[in-house]
Amino acid sequence: MMNGISNAGVSLMCVAMLGDISDYDEWQTGLRREGLFNSLLAWFEKAGNSVGYLLSGFILDWIGFNAKLGAQSDHTLQLMKFGYVIAPATGALITILLVRRYELTQDQVYEIKEELARRRAEKGALPAAVPQ
């Protein structure tokens, strides 16, 4: 349950911030690179899941899980339950600490959006060169 809650929260935060980050990058560079940021987000999600699956095998071995035994010892089951709570909670806590470094405020985001809209309007308002 904890893993689902933290994963859903992190996914929603990242997707919600993606548009603001794309706007900020366009404001700074003049280039619209939403596709780049979206692909980076997808890659990091996949890489994170892969690392999690890799580590889970090592953790199961470390706590004494043995698939050949069938029923596991009480100690192993307790450590598995502990791991099901601690690992996702730790990941969520690290994510929260990293998100705190997100520097854009709501006011800045709106100012950037207004500036980009103004820039786009200026580009659209320029008369096209008419060949003679």
Rounded CA gap, 119 and 113, in Å? 10
pLDDT of residue 130: 46
- pTM for this prediction: 0.71
Dump pLDDT digits (tens) for 104-125: 999 999 999 999 999 988 887 5
pLDDT of residue 75: 92
What is the percent of the chain with per-residue pLDDT over 90, rounded to a whole number?
39
Low-confidence ranges of the chain (pLDDT < 50): 129-130
Q: Which amino acid is at 118?
A: R
Rounded CA gap, 16 and 10, in Å? 10
pLDDT of residue 21: 93
